[in-house]
Structure 1
Amino acid sequence: MKKLRKNNLIKNVAVLLFCFQVSLLIAQKQTTSNFTVVAENTVTSILIDKNDAKVVTIASDIFANDVEKITGKKPIISTKNNQSTPTIIAGTIGKNKWIDDMIAIGKIDVSKIENQWERYSVQIVENPMASLDKTLVVVGSDRRGTAYGILELSRKIGVSPWEWWADVTPEKKESLSLTLEKEVSKSPSVKYRGVFLNDEDWGLQRWAALNYEPEIGDIGPKTYAKVFELLLRLRANTIWPAMHSSTKPFYSYPENKFVADDYAIVIGTSHAEPMLSNINTEWKHDDMGEYRYDTNSETIKSLFTKRVKETAKLEGIYTTGMRGEHDSPMIVGEDDTDAQVSLLERVITDQRAILKKETKKEPKNVPQAFVPYKEVLNYYQSGLKLPEDISLVWTDDNYGYIRQLSNPKEQKRSGGAGVYYHTSYWGRPHDYLWLNSSNPVLMWEEMSKAYELQSRDIWILNCGDIKPHEYNIELFLDMAWNIDYFKESSSIKNHTKNWASREFGEASASKITDVLFENNRLAYIRRPEFMAWSQVEPVTKEGETELTQYHYGDEVSGRIESYQKIIDATENIYNEIPVFRKDAFYQLVYYPVIGASKLNQKWLYSFKNKFTAKQGRQSANAFGTLSEEAYDRITKETDNYNTALKNGKWNHIMTMSPRFLPVFAQPATSNVTNIEKASLGLALEGYQMEVNNKVINSYADVLPVFNSYTNSTYFIDLFANGKGTVNWQAKPKADWILLSESKGTLNANSLEKRIWVSIDWSKIPQGENKKEAPLGHDFQLIPPSFKVNSAIDFISEGKITTIGVSAYNPKFAALNNYKGFVEDKGYVSINAENYTRKKDGKEANWTLFEGMGYTNKVITALPRTATPLVDMEEIKANSPVLEYDFYTFNFGEVEVNLQAVPTHAPYNGIGVRCAVSIDDATPVFVDFETIGRSDEWKENVLKNASVKSAKQIVNKAGKHTLKIWMVDPGVMIDQVLIDLGGWKKSYAFPKETVKK
C-alpha cells in the first residue's frame, strides 16, 4: 500500500513537473519549426472532426486544392485519426475531439483565444498523440476563427486571396513546407466586415447569368459560393447581397441562405432593404398594394415576419427602419419632419416586436443595424429615438466622405456603430460604376477616423461588381481585420507594395506601386468617369471643361502627358511579368490603368480638337483621330477582358459604358479643311486666340512676363495653316532668350510643334537695386529699371512674326538668401505641406498625409478628438499653426484661397473650419462645410476639393507671413493661393511660386 502511494506521488509530481514545463514553454518565445506539406513521397493529411462546422470542411478543402495547384498533389481530408503521414489537425474549440484532448493534457494553450470572436492559433506540436510525430495544429475560437486559421496556411504557402477571382495562378513547386512560430491572431478590429454587391446590372449579374451560372440565369448559389470563398480568404464575414431588379432576391433561391451558412457568412441588407427583405423585387404592387407604412403597415409587417421566420436560426444582421422603393425617401402622408420621425419610430418598434416573437430572443440579443442614409440622417438628427442596442451604421456621401460619426455620447451606446462606404456609386452628380477610382489613402483616412471615433462594429464596402475593385476591397477588409497595421498614411503605400510583391514579385513591386499611386493621384484630381463634365439625374450632355489650355503650361496637355507616362510604364511592366501571372496583372493593374488613361485621353484630345479647330489649326484633325483611337483602345481592351482572357472565363463581366452615359461615348470632333497653301501659325501661352499676322501689334503677340525669382517658362505653339510643308526658324533677338527648338518643319506627319521659352538669367541685364516698386498684376506696369524687353523672330516662307519677350529681373536686397514663396503674375501659389514653420498646439499638431490631394500630400491637425478652438485669444494661444513666408511686389486687399479635402463635420461640436491671417492680423474663420446635396457639394465631390477664400490685407510690398490656425481637428489643407488680382481661370491652382 505504501509502495502504491509512493508511486502515485511520483506520478503526480511528474505530471506537475510536465505541466510546469509546458507552461514555461508556452510563456517563452516560440522557436521556429518546420512542417512538411508536400515532399517527394509525402503529402500531409488534414484531420477534422465531423461534428465541427461545415465551414471547417470547406476551408480545409480550399487549402487542399491550393496545395494541389502548387504541387500537383492534394492532401487527404479525413475525420478519422489513422494517419501516419505529417498531419494538420484543424478544428474549433469544443467541436474537435483531438484538439480538446490536446487542450486537456496541456499540449496546446488556448487561453488567449477561448471564448473570443473569430480568433485562431497556428502552431507545430511535437507528438500530440500516440500515432502522430509532428503535427501542425490550427485551432479556432469559433467556426470562422478556424476557417481563417486554415486559410492563413494558404497565404503562407503563397496563394493569393485572388487566386480565382483575378487568376493569380500559384507558382508551381515540387515540394512545399512551412516554417513558422506559434501564431495567435488578435481579435478583429471590426466585428462585422464585408461587402455590398450593388449596381450589378452591367457586370456581375450578366456574367453569372450568361456565363458562370446559366442554369439559373442569375446570381445564384454557385456564384455566391465563389463570392463567399473570396470573403473567407479576405477574412471577411458579412455580405449585403445584390439587390437590383436585374437580380432575383437573395432569398428567392432557397439554397442561397444555406450556402451562406455553410461558409459562415453573415447576411445583412442595405439601407433600403429592411429586415433582410429586398423591396426592389419582393414588393408586388398588384398583390400587396402601396409600399407605405402609414396606410399599409399590416402587409409590410407580413413581409418582415415571413423573412424573420425564414432566417431566425441563421446568422444575420437585420436592418431596421425603412425607406421608400428604389432608394427613395419613405412616403408619408404628412409632409413634415415630425410626422416622418414619428412614423419611423413606429416602424422600428414593430420590427423589434417581430424579431422577439419569431426568434424567441430579446431584441438586444439579435444583431440589428440602422443606416442613417440620405434623408434618414435628417430624421435621426431631428430627434428620432433609436434603441441603444441597434448599431448605428454611418454612411459616406457616396463619394468617399463620411457624413457623420458618433459623438461622445453615442460612442457609449451598447449597439455600437459602423460605416457603409462606397467605391462604386450610381447617382448624382455623376456615377462612377466602371473603374475603381476611389483614392485608397482617402479611404484609409476616413475609415481610420471612423475607427478612432468608435465605429467598430460593422464595416461594409459598396464595391459594385467586385471587379475591378480588387485592391480597394482587400485594403478595406485588411483595415477592418487589423487597423493597427495602418497607423500612418505611409502604411497604404507599404500595403500596396507588399500586395504587388505578393501578386507579381518583388522585382516589379515598386514600379507597380508607383504606377498605381500616380493613377490614384490623377483620379483624385478628376475621376475618369467625370471627364465629360456632364451630370446625371437628369442626364446632361457633355459640358465645357474647366481645364485650361492656355494658362499655366496647359492643363489639358499636362494631363495627357501624365497619363501617357503611366500607360508606357504599365505596358513595360506587363512585358516583364512572368507568363503565369500576366492574366492577373491584366486584371489587377493593366486594364484599370489603361482604361482610366484612355478614357481621359479620349476626352482630353477631344478638348484639344475643339480648341485648335477654333484657331483653324490643321492639327485639330489629328487630335480628333487621337480621341477616336483612345476610344477604340478601350473597346479593344474590354473585348479582350471579356472574350480572350482565360478563354472567356470573364465574358460579360466588364462593361465599358455602364448606363451608357455620355462620358463613355465617342465625343464628336471638329474637322478643319483648308486647301490654301500651308503657312506658319503661332499661339502663345496666356492667350485664347492665335497670333493674328494680319494685325500689327496684335494683342496676342507678347508672352507673359518672365520672373527671375520663379524661373518662369512659357510655351509657343507653331502650327500649319493649310496644306503642304512649312519650314520655320526662330531667332531670339537677345542671347538670354533660350528656346527648346529653333528650327523645324511642319507637314502632314507633324502638324504642330510646341517650343518652350526660358531665360538664361546669368546673361540678362540686372535690374537696379532700388526700393521695391509696385508691379501691375499682369506684370505689364513694371518700371523700366526692373523690366528687360526683347523679342523672338519667327521666320517662315519669307514672312517674319515677332513675339515680344519681357523679363523681370530686379535685385532686391531683401530677397538675398531668402527661402520662401514669391508673387508671380499677381498671385502666390503654395502647396500646403511646404510650410516654413509650424507650431504645435495644446492638444493637437499638424500632421502630413501622403498619397492624397492634388499634390499627393495634404496636411491635417490631429488627433481628431482634440477640442475645437473658436475663441480668438484661445486660437492664438493654443491652436497649432502653420506659417508660410511669402514676398509680394504688390499690396492691397487680397483673397487667400484655401483648397481643402471636402470632408464633413464628424458630429455636432466639431466642424470643418480653420482660420487664416496674414502677418499680425486677426485670424479669419474659413468654413468648408456644405449643406446636404447642394450645388456646392456637387462641385466639391466632382473635384475632390473644397475651395474657400478669406480677404486679408497685404499692407506693403515685401515680406509677409501667412498663418493657418486649426479651429477644428481633422481639416485637411491641400493647397493655398494668395490672389493679388492676377490669377487666371484654371481647374487647379498654378504650380508653386517658390523662389528659385
Structure 2
Amino acid sequence: MRKLRKSNLVKNVVLLLVSFQVLILKAQEQATSNFTIVEENTITSILIDKKDSKVVVIASNIFATDVEKITGKKPAISNKISQSESTIIAGTIGRNKWIDAMIAAGKIDVSEIENQWERYSIQIIENPTSTIKKALVVVGSDRRGTAYGILELSRKIGVSPWEWWADVTPTKKESLSLSIKNEVSKSPSVKYRGVFLNDEDWGLQRWAALNFEPETGDIGPKTYGKVFELLLRLRANTIWPAMHSSTKPFYSYPENKFIADDYAIVIGTSHAEPMLSNINTEWKHDQMGEYRYDTNSETIKSLFTKRVKETAKLEGIYTTGMRGEHDSPMIVGEDDTDAQVNLLERVITDQRAILKKETKKNPTSIPQAFVPYKEVLNYYQSGLKLPEDITLVWTDDNYGYIRQLSNPKEQKRAGGAGVYYHTSYWGRPHDYLWLNSTNPVLMWEEMSKAYEFQSRDIWILNCGDIKPHEYNIELFLDMAWNMDDFKESSSVKDHTKNWASREFGEGTASEITDVLFENNRLAYIRRPEFMAWSQVEPVTKEGETELTQYHYNDEVTGRIENYQGLIDATENLYYAIPAYRKDAFYQLVYYPVIGASKLNQKWLYSFKNKFTAKQGRQSANAFAALSEEAYNRITKETDFYNTTLKNGKWNHIMTMAPRFLPVFAQPATSSIANSEKASLGLALEGYQMEVNDKVINSYADVLPVFNSYTNSTYFIDVFTNGNGTVNWEAEPKADWIRLSESSGTLNSDNLEKRIWVSIDWSKVPQGENKKEAPLGHDFQLIPPSFKVNSAIDFISEGKTTAIGISAYNPKFEALNNYKGFVEDKGYVSIHAENYTRKKDGKEANWKMFEGMGYTNKVITALPRTAMPLVNLEEITMNSPVLEYDFYTFNFGEVEVNLQAVPTHAPHTGIGVRCAVSIDDATPVFVDFETTGRSEEWKENVLKNASIKSVKQIVNKAGKHTLKIWMVDPGVMIDQVLIDLGGWKKSYAFPKETVKE
C-alpha cells in the first residue's frame, strides 16, 4: 500500500512539473518582448543564408530600406555570423543553417508550419547561437512564407504596402524598436492570390513606356519588379500579366520570367490566353494562319509547346481550354453547342499531353485552371468533361456579380475552384475603366459567398492599371489571405477605418471612412462612368436620364448636393492631413472622390440645364457654366496627378477619358437668350413645366397633397424670366403653412431660389375622428372632412400668383399608437432592413448587410448553403419571413415592387427567388434571375438593381402586413414599393413613407 501511495505521489509530482512547464511555455508564447532595431549608433543587422531563395534576399533588402526610410540608417544584410548583442535571423526551413540548428537544438518549434503552404513564425530567441545574445527570428515554411514574415516586420514598423505605389511616406523616427509577441501565421485562406493587369492601354502601359521604363518602352522587367514588390507586400503570390496589343507579350522579354521567379510570383494568364500564351500579340496570321483549332490545331499546339518548354521549371498556372482572338468566342466549323464542347474537350486533352511531355510530370501535379467566362460557361453547363484536377475559376458577370459557383459535387473536385473578379472592365453594356467604382461591401459579399462554396484555390482581381484601385486591391488580397477577419459585412468598414488610420493617422480615420463609404453608396446607385445613360459596342450618344427633376424632392438636385457634401468633406480633410502624407491622400482618396463627384456634377448640371432651359429659366445658362466648371476641374486634377504630383512620377498613369467615350466629354448644353425685362417665374414639385402665371389666383397649380402621417415637404422654385432684377414675396394664406424663405431678390448673381414648403401640423384643423380610413377614395380627391385647402400667394411687380396647398390631416384611432408604414400619394415605400418583425426559419434566417444597396443596407437570408424551399406549404411553415406593417387609405389591386441586388444563382438547384404576399394571401413567387447578357441584365447591372413586380390585393383601407419569405438563400432585398396607383416615374424608389 505504501509503495502504491509513493508511486502515485511520484506520478502527481511529474504531472505537476509537466503542467508547470506547459504553463511556462504558454506564458513565453504570450509574453511581449521588446526588440531594438535602431538606437543611436546601434543598427541591428539581418542574417540570412546565401543558400536561401532569392526572394528572401529581396524581402530582406526591402525591409532594410524601409528601416532606412524611417530612421536614415540601413541595417546590413549578411551571410556570415558574427559577435552581436542582437540580430534579425530570417530564413526558410531547410534553407538556413542557423535556423535549422535552432530547430535541432529545440530552441524554436516549427511543428505548426513545417511542410505547410506559405506560413511563417516570428519570435524572439535568447542566445540563438554562441555569438548572438538575442535574435528576432523569422522562419518560413517555404520561400514565400519567409518573405511574408520579413515584410510583416515592415508592417509592424509602420510602413504601408503602398509606400511606393501611392507614396505613403513613412513617419520619421530617431530610434526604432518593436514589441514582439511570438506569432505563427495561419495558412492562407486562398492558395493562389493575385491580380490581372488589364486594359492597360490608357494608364499603366503609357506610364511605363513614356515615364518609368523608357529604355524598354513598355511594361517590362523594371515595372514588373515594382509590381511584384507590391504583391509581396500585400501577401499575394500570383499575377496575370498585361496582355493587350499595346503591350508586348510578357514572355517576349526574357528577364520578365526570371524576375517573377526571383520574387516568387506565380504567372498565370487570363481566360483568353491558353497555356500562358498571349494570343492577342503572339499569334501572327501571316505566318501561322487562322486561329482555329478545328482547322489549324498543329500550329496552335506548336505555340503551346514552345511556351511550356520555356516555363516548365518555373511556377505557373496553365490556363486550359481556348477562346477566340481578342476575347471572343472560339470559331468552329459547326456552329452548335455540341460541336463547341467536343472541340474544347479535344483542346484540353491535347494541352495536357503537351504538359506531360514537356515537363516530364503527371499533369495532375501541375497547376491548371479552366475559366468558364462568358460563352464558355454555357459549354461547361452543356456537359463539357473537365479533368478533376483542373481548378474551376468561376467569373463574375464583369459587373461584380458571380455567375456560378461550385455545387456540392464540384466542391469535392481535386482541383478545387477559384474566382476571377472585376473592379475594372471594358465592354457591354458600358466600360468602367477610369475610377474604382465597385462597392467594396458587394465585393466582400460575393467573395465570402465564393469562399463559402469552397472557391479557395485561385482568386484573381482584374484591377486595370492598379491605380486608382488601391483600396479594393488590398481588401481583396486581405480577404484572400485571411477570410476569418471578414465574417461580417461590418468587417469591411472596420478594415477601411484601420486602413485609413494606418495611412493617415487615427485622427482623421473615421472621417475618411465616412467619405469613402458615402462615395461607395452613391457609386452603387449609379457608377460615375454610367452617368451619361449611354452604352458601348456600338458606342451610343448620351441618353435621357432616368433621374427625375420634378418628383420626390428632385433626384438630380439631391445627387448634386450629396456629391457637393463629399467634395467639401474631402477638401477639408486634405488640409488636415500632414504634409508628408498629402501626396498619398491625393492618390488614395482625393482624386478618386473629386473625380467621381465632378463627373457626376458635370452630367447632373447638364440635366438641370436642359430641364430649366425648357422652362425658359435664365438659370439654365448658370447650370451650363457649372457643368463646364466640373469638366474643367476633372481636367485640372488629372493634369496635376500626371505632371505635378511627386514631380511627375506618375505622368501618363491617369487618363480621364479611357476610350474617349461620350460620358467623359463635356456635355452639350442649351443657352437662354432673353432680352425681355425680368419677371418672376415659378416651378412646382410634381410638374414638368413652369407655372402659367397668366392665370391669376387659380388653384390649378397645386403642390402634391401634404400628409400629416409622413410629414411631407415639397419645393417651389422661384426664378427669373428675362434680364434685370426681380423682387418677390410669398404670403401663406394660412398660419399652418411654413416656408423656408418668404421674400428675396433675384438678379444675375442669384437667378433662382428653391423654397421648401412644410406644414405646422399643430395648427392644421384636424379631420373627423374615425376608426378607419374612408374606403377606396382617390387620394388626390380627399373628402372635405379629411383635407384642408389653402394657398400661398407669390407677389412680384404687382402680379400675384396663387399656389394651392392641400393638407391631409385626419384623425384615425387605428393610427394613434401605430408604428409602421403608411400610404402617401398612392404608394407605400419601405426600406427592406426596416422590417416590423422577422421570424427565423427552420434552417435559415434573415440577416442585414451594411454598406451596400441604395439605402446602404440590404437584408438577406443565410446561410447561403441552406436548402431552397419551393413548396408553398413548406415555405409558410419553415421559411424565414420578414413582415412589414403598413396602412392604406385606398384599396384594390396593387403592384408590389421588390428591388433586389442583381445577383445570380450560385448553381443549379438554387435560384434567386423569394415569395411575397399581403395579409393571408397565398404567397407569390418572385424570381430575380436573368438570362445571359439580356437587355434586362444590362439594365440591372447599370443601376445595380433588379426590380420585379407582383400583383396583390389590398382588400380594404386600413392596416395590412406585407410578408416576404425566403425561397432561395442569399437573395438580397434592398427596397419595397407598394404602388396603389400613385407612384410617378423616378430612378430610385421615393423615400420611406414611415409614420412620424
Is the CA contact 2:702–2:803 (under 8 Å) kept in the aligned structure 1? yes
Q: Is 1:395 aligned to residue 392 of structure 2?
A: no
2:234 counterpart of 1:231 = no
TM alignment of 1:726-765, pairs within 5 A: 726-765=726-765
- The aligned counterpart of 2:335 is 335
Partner of 1:160: 160
- 1:770-789 alpha-carbon deviations (Å, 9 max, x no partner): 36454788632100000000
What's 2:804 paired with?
804
Q: Indicate whether 1:404 and 2:404 are aligned.
A: yes
Aligned partners of 2:304, 2:754: CA distance in 1, in Å? 67
Q: Secondary structure at the match of 2:806?
A: strand
1:180 equivalenced with 2:186 (yes/no): no
Superposition TM-score, scaled by structure 2 size: 0.97
Alpha-carbon offset, residue 700 of structure 1: 6.0
Q: Return the offset for 1:31.
A: 1.1
Q: 1:776 and 1:220 mapped to 2: Cα distance?
A: 73
Offset of 1:847 from its aligned partner? 0.2
> C-alpha displacement at 1:697, in angstroms?
7.1
Name the aligned partner's letter for residue 750 of structure 1.
N
- 3-state secondary structure, aligned to 1:86: strand
Could you say which residue in structure 2 is the equivalent of 1:819?
Answer: 819
Specify whether residues 100 and 26 from structure 1 end up closer, same or farther in structure 2 by C-alpha distance, changes over 3 A only: farther
Q: Which residue matches 1:567?
A: 567
Whether 2:930 is the aligned partner of 1:930: answer yes
Report how far residue 886 of structure 1 moved.
0.1
Q: Is the 8 A contact 2:696 2:800 kept in 1?
A: no
Take 1:392 and 1:700, find their aligned partners in 2: how far apart are those partners?
65
Equivalent pair of 1:603/1:667 in contact (CA under 8 Å): yes
Question: In the alignment, residue 656 of structure 1 is paired with which amino acid?
Answer: M
Q: Which AA in structure 1 matches 2:622?
A: A
- Alignment partner of 1:264 is 2:257: no
State the Cα distance separating 1:22 from its structure 2 match: 9.0
Instruction: Let me know the Cα RMSD of the aligned residues.
Output: 1.3
> What corresponds to 2:865 in structure 1?
865
Choose 811-820 or 700-709, whichever is displaced more: 700-709
The superposition leaves residues 307-353 of structure 1 with CA deviations (integer Å, 9 ceiling, x where unpaired) of: 00000000000000000000000001000100000000000000000
Q: CA 1:793–1:696 in 2, change beyond 3 Å: closer, same or farther?
A: closer
Say if 1:567 and 1:593, in contact at 8 Å, map to a contact too. Answer: yes
Q: Shift of the alpha carbon at 1:693?
A: 1.0
User: C-alpha separation between the residues in 1 aligned to 2:201 and 2:775?
Assistant: 60
Structure 1 residues not aligned, in runs of 5+: 1-16
Taking the aligned partners of 1:53 and 1:983, their CA distance within structure 2 comes to: 67
SS in structure 1 of the partner of residue 224 of structure 2: helix
Amino acid at match of 1:737: I
Residue 84 (structure 1) shift: 1.8
**1:873 partner amino acid:** E
Note the C-alpha offset of 1:85: 4.6
Please tell me whether the aligned partners of residues 899 and 946 of structure 1 are also in contact (alpha carbons under 8 angstroms): yes
**Is residue 2:770 matched to residue 1:770?**
yes
Structure 2 counterpart of 1:92? 92
Q: What are the residue-to-residue correspondences of 1:353-372 with 2, within 5 Å? A: 353-372=353-372
Counterpart residue number, 2:12:
none
| Superposition deviation, residue 41 in structure 1 | 1.2
Name the aligned partner's letter for residue 918 of structure 2.
I
Q: Distance in 2 between matches of 1:219 and 1:256?
A: 10
Residue 683 of structure 1: CA displacement? 0.2
User: Partner letter of residue 953 of structure 2?
Assistant: I
TM-score, normalised with respect to structure 1: 0.97
1:472 corresponds to which letter in structure 2?
N
SS in 1 for 2:70: helix
The residue that corresponds to 1:209 in the other structure is: 209
What displacement does 1:86 show?
Answer: 2.1
Matching residue of 1:284:
284
Amino acid at match of 2:662: P
CA gap 1:713/1:132 in 2 versus in 1, 3 angstroms: same
Quote how far apart the aligned CAs of 1:19 are: 14
Q: Deviations over 1:117-173 (max 9, x none)?
A: 000000000000111011000000000000000000000000000000000000000
User: 1:543 — aligned with what?
Assistant: 543
- Does structure 2 retain, via aligned residues, the 8 Å contact 1:692–1:698? no
Aligned to 2:14: none
Q: Which amino acid aligns with 1:557?
A: T
Query: Match of 1:754, SS?
Result: strand
Moved more, 85-94 or 641-650: 85-94
Distance 2:561 2:389 in 1: 54
Q: d(CA) in 1 for partners of 2:533 and 2:122?
A: 53
Name the amino acid aligned to 1:319. T
Number of residue equivalences: 980
Deviation at 1:550, TM superposition (A): 0.1
- Answering whether residue 108 of structure 2 is matched by residue 108 of structure 1, we say yes
Q: Name the residue aligned to 1:649.
A: 649
> 2:304 & 2:683 partners in 1: Cα distance?
68
> Where does residue 151 of structure 2 map in the other structure?
151
Contact 1:774 1:891 in 2 (8 A): no
Partner of 1:199: 199
| Per-residue Cα deviation, 1:834-879 (whole angstroms, up to 9, x for no partner) | 0000000000000000000000000000000001000000001100
Q: Would the aligned equivalents of 1:691 and 1:698 in 2 still touch at CA under 8 Å?
A: no
What secondary structure does 1:128 align onto?
A: coil
* Aligned twin of 2:432: 432
Contact conserved, 1:433 with 1:658, CA < 8 A, in 2? yes
Cα pair distance change 1:840/1:23, threshold 3 Å: closer
Q: Determine the C-alpha separation between the residues in 1 that align with 2:902 and 2:777.
A: 30
Q: In the alignment, which residue of structure 2 is the partner of 1:14?
A: none
**1:482 matched to 2:505:** no
- 2:46: which partner in 1? 46
Q: Distance in 2 between matches of 1:321 and 1:273?
A: 9
- The structural deviation recorded for 1:623 is 0.2
Per the alignment, residue 7 of structure 1 pairs with none
Aligned partner of 1:368: which letter?
Q
Distance in structure 1 (CA, Å) of the matches to 2:435 and 2:564: 18
Asked whether the 8 Å contact 1:19–1:106 carries over to 2, the reply is no
Is residue 404–residue 905 contact of structure 1 (8 Å, CA) maintained in 2? yes
- 8 Å Cα contact 2:696-2:802 kept in structure 1: no
State the shift of 1:29 in Å: 3.8
Closer/same/farther in 2, CA of residues 52 and 747 from structure 1, 3 Å limit:
same
Residue pairs, 1:919-958, within 5 angstroms: 919-958=919-958
Matched AA of 2:600:
N
Instruction: Tell me the equivalent position of 1:893.
Output: 893
Q: CA separation in 2, counterparts of 1:779 and 1:71?
A: 73
Partners of 1:798 and 1:282 in 2: CA distance: 79
Aligned partners of 2:807, 2:22: CA distance in 1, in Å? 82
The equivalent of 1:321 in structure 2 is 321
Q: Which whole-Å CA distance do the structure 1 matches of 2:30 and 2:594 have between them?
A: 47
Provide the C-alpha distance between the structure 1 equivalents of 2:118 and 2:921, rounded to a whole number of angstroms: 56
Contact 1:881 1:964 in 2 (8 A): yes
**What displacement does 1:699 show?**
8.2
- 2:5 is matched with none
Aligned to 1:443: 443
The DSSP-based 3-state class of the residue aligned with 2:875 is helix
Name 1:581's counterpart in structure 2: 581
- 1:30 and 1:970 map into 2 onto residues whose CA distance is 40
User: The residue matched to 1:136 in structure 2 has which SS?
Assistant: strand
SS of residue in 1 equivalent to 2:781: coil
Cα distance between partner residues in 2 of 1:742 and 1:47: 78
Partner of 2:682: 682
Verify the 8 A CA contact 1:777 1:980 in the aligned structure 2: no
Aligned partner of residue 462 in structure 1, secondary structure? strand
Work out the CA distance in 2 between the residues paired with 1:661 and 1:546. Answer: 20
8 Å contact from structure 2 (residues 525, 944) kept in 1: yes
Query: Is the contact made by 2:791 and 2:802 (CA closer than 8 Å) also made in structure 1?
Result: yes
SS of 1:115 mapped into structure 2: coil
The DSSP-based 3-state class of the residue aligned with 2:938 is helix
C-alpha deviations, 1:620-676, integer Å up to 9, x for none?
A: 000000000000000000000000000000000000000000000000010001101
How far did residue 819 of structure 1 move?
Answer: 0.2
Q: How does 1:509-658 map to 2 (within 5 A)?
A: 509-658=509-658
| 2:372/2:393 contact within 8 Å kept | yes
2:469 aligned partner: 469
Separation of aligned partners in 2, 1:42 and 1:912: 63
Percent of aligned pairs sharing the same letter: 89
8 Å contact 1:45–1:83 — kept in the other structure?
no
Q: What is the aligned partner in structure 2 of residue 4 from structure 1?
A: none
Tell me how far apart the structure 2 counterparts of residues 793 and 662 of structure 1 sit (CA, whole Å). 44
